[in-house]
Every structure is written in C-alpha cells, then in structure tokens.
Structure 1
Amino acid sequence: MPESTRSDVPSPDPFRGGPDDVIALINEFPLAWVAPRDDQAARVATLLPLLADIDVEGQVVSLLGHMAKRNPLYAALEATPSATILFTGPQAYVSPALVSTPTWAPTWNYAQVRIEAEIRFRADLGHEALERLTRFMDTGDQTGWSPRDVGPRYEAMERAIIAFEARVTGITAKFKLGQDETDLSLREILASHPDPVLARWMRRMNAGRQV
C-alpha cells in the first residue's frame, strides 16, 4: 500500500532507527524466525525465543537461544552454521478512517530487525539458556520460578535441548511507524488507532515531533 509523503523527511533513511530501537524491539518481541542460509531454509525455519547480548558500546553482538535436538533446524545449522534471524515488532493496518485528509492512502505500519549470524552450539550452556530466558520473561511477575522446579523431569528436559550462540555479523532494521506522515495525520492516527502497542512505538519513533 502506498505511504504518505512529507516534504521535510530527514535524510538518511528515516525508517532505519538506531541501536537502542533494535535492542528495544528484540527485548519486547523476542520470538524470532531462525533459518539456515542454505536451500533448507523454507523447510526448517523455526520460531525461537532469543536474548540479546550487548557490548559496552550498546550494540547487539550475539543472541542466546535453545532448541530441541530433534528439531530439523539443529541438524541443518550443524551442517551450515550460519543463519538469518528475523524479529518482527509492532504491526497493524492503518485505515483511512483515522485520517481527515481525503487524499490520504491507507498503509501498514510495522517494525522488523533482520540479523545475519554465525551459529555456535553450546552444550555447556543449556541450563544457563533456560535460566536466563525464564528470568527475563518472568521479570514482570517476579515469581522466582526456576526450570529445576519441574523436579525429576528436569535432567531429561535439559538433555533434550541444545543451547546456541548466534554471533552477529550484520543487522538491518526498518521501523516504518509514521515518520513520513504529516504532523496532522500522525496526531489523528495516534489519537484513534486501536492497537496501543503500535501507537506506543509510533510515538517512540516520532519522539522529536510536536504531536
């Protein structure tokens, strides 16, 4: 669908975002598609939750995850240990019903982060991968639950999974979240759009504007 245009869109690409936006998207939407960079990608691509490791400069340098050993993705990445990883963030249709300008065209707003990475399987990190993911996802509830709380089943469960590190070799991101809208259209969309998560991210990506 065509995007609205503004004569004062900054250069370079206003949809690129910055390192903080990339980290925020990964943290809020940690479930990502992981696919090997070979001809098996379509057959074995898998959704997996991943956690970002950040260096002192605030850049994502690796991702920590785990998968079932029986997952065909495991064998594929052992054979070809490089992957494309795609995180999808907030996304929704934006209806012309929200905008007063008669010539405004509907669009779809979204955010995505694409990471190219080299994969290293780490049998020694199975427990750490489970613990870190649980702590991260359970932050809001503060239950204190640990994977070992499942009791005698835990050892078998840990043996059934394999942890991995995805060492980042490239990142491309796109945050198409209203940066090209006029101030009036942006205000109207923010005031009426039914998806509060999308609206929050639109405000984030237009923080310097008077809306």
Structure 2
Amino acid sequence: MYVPRAFAENDTRTLQEQMQATALPVLITQGRQGLIASHVPLLLTPEEGQYGTLYGHLARANPQCQELAEGAQALVIFAGEQAYISPSFYPSKAEHGKAVPTWNYVAVHAYAQPEVFEDAPRLLELVSQLSNRHEANRPHPWAVSDAPADYIDSMLKAIVGFRLPIARLIGKRKLSQNRSAADQAGVRDGLLANSNPHDHALARLIAKE
C-alpha cells in the first residue's frame, strides 16, 4: 500500500483498534494456485507478539487452506471508513480552481506467516469466541453450546483453523491532512451535507484528526 508521509498511521494501538472494528477483513495469499482472497471474520489478540496475532478459520474445501498449510505469506486487509471527496468541498477551489476529485479512507494491512491447526478443542474454542463476539450485542445471544454437540463436532471437521502472527503492520488514514484547515473543514461539512451515513462517519474522523 502506497502511504505518503502525511497519511501514515504508525501507532500500533490505533491500528489494532481499526482491525478490531473491521468485521469482515480480506485474507489474501499467493501460492502455487496464484492469488486467492477470502472474506473472513477474525479474532485479534493484541498482546500476542509485537503487533498482535490473528485467528480465524476457513472451510476445509477452500483451496486457500492448502496455501496456508504450505506457508504462503498472508496479507490481511482491514478497510475502514471511506468516502468520495468532491473538489467542490474545497473553499480554495473558488480562489484558483486547482482541485481534482479524490477519495479519503482508512485502511490497515497486516502481513503474517500462517500456521494452521485442525484439533477439535482448539477449533471449538475459536468458533465459540467468534460467535460470542458477534452475538454480544443481541438481546438473546446465540452460543455454540446451544447447538447439539454431535452437530458441532461434524461442523468442526469441515473447517481448518489458522493463526497469523503479525510480522508487519501498515496503516493509512487519508483524511485531507495535506489540505489547509479551511479545506479540511470544507471536506467535513461537505460530507455531513450528504445523506450517506458512511460520509458522516468519515466526517467525524476528519473532525477528530
């Protein structure tokens, strides 16, 4: 990922917060079968390793399992808020007209050498933690233990778990930091004037920046 200095985010905690906030990151590998990408929910253990460690699972039938088992390097992309930025947002455009469209966004790229595991107790712990995380805000959370044990056992046989100890972490927060304060305010106000809730979320990030 190309990251100009003005947009670089190097604080590990901030990057990990973005990773935690991304519900469905993209896992990418390049091995014997070429580039493969899977959209998978992941668990991050922030304190494990220099940048944290990611855990997840794939269907055993997914060819990416073989790539992970063979040690293909993994890249995980965590995409955050994003929005189109119109030149009309900039007050400076009225002065000199020197403005073009762009896109503001937040993204984190994590690189790791994968490890796979297939033992049932470890897989059960993983799927239980994932379910608990995403069910936490529901009025009546579902738990893995709600399903029949023999059914869960059969489901565990159909998946492969993986561990991704993060070796390199790259963060980018492109929030108009390279523009004047007036232009930044114009971008924020322009986004808030739109009806898209994603635009509003990005505007709030710009205000914090």
The TM-score bracket by the shorter chain reads 0.7 to 0.9
| SS at structure 2 position matched to 1:97 | helix
Moved over 4 A (4+): none
Whole-angstrom distance in 2 between the partners of 1:31 and 1:185: 32
Change (3 A) 1:173 1:109: same
CA contact (8 A) 2:112 2:167 kept: yes
Letter paired with 1:95: S
- Unaligned 5+ residue runs, structure 1? 1-11, 207-211
Structure 2 counterpart SS, 1:60: coil
The residue that corresponds to 1:74 in the other structure is 65
Does the alignment pair 1:137 with 2:134? yes
Distance 1:40 1:84 in 2: 16
Task: Give 1:32's aligned residue.
Answer: 25
The 5 Å alignment of 1:17-28 reads: 17=9, 18-28=11-21
Distance 2:113 2:83 in 1: 32
> Which residue does 1:112 correspond to in 2?
107
Inter-partner Cα distance in structure 2 for 1:203 and 1:50? 29
1:53 to 27, 45, 49: 45
Q: Distance in 2 between matches of 1:100 and 1:89?
A: 27
Corresponding position of 1:184: 182
Aligned-partner Cα distance in 2 for 1:154–1:87: 29
Asked if structure 2 preserves the Cα contact closer than 8 Å seen for 1:116 and 1:169, the reply is yes
| 1:196 corresponds to 2:200 | yes
Q: Secondary structure at the match of 1:31?
A: coil
Show CA shifts across 1:37-81 (max 9, x none): 435342x22111112111289x53210111111101001111224
Check conservation: 1:84, 1:114, Cα contact below 8 A.
yes
Partners of 1:41 and 1:139 lie apart in 2 by: 37
Change (3 A) 1:144 1:89: same
Distance 1:182 1:56 in 2: 40
* 1:179 Cα deviation after fit: 1.3
Q: What TM-score do the two structures reach when normalised by structure 2?
A: 0.81
- Check 1:95–1:150 CA distance in 2 against 1; reply closer, same or farther (3 A cut): farther
Tell me the C-alpha RMSD between the 2 structures: 2.2
Count the aligned residue pairs. Answer: 192
TM-score, normalised relative to structure 1 = 0.81
Distance 1:68 1:56, change over 3 A: closer
Task: Tell whether the 8 Å contact from 1:35 to 1:85 is kept in structure 2 after alignment.
Answer: yes
Shift of 1:146: 0.7
What percentage of aligned pairs have identical amino acids? 25
List runs of 5+ in structure 2 lacking aligned partners: none
Match of 1:148 among 139, 142, 145: 145
Query: Per the alignment, in what secondary structure is the counterpart of residue 31 of structure 2?
Result: coil
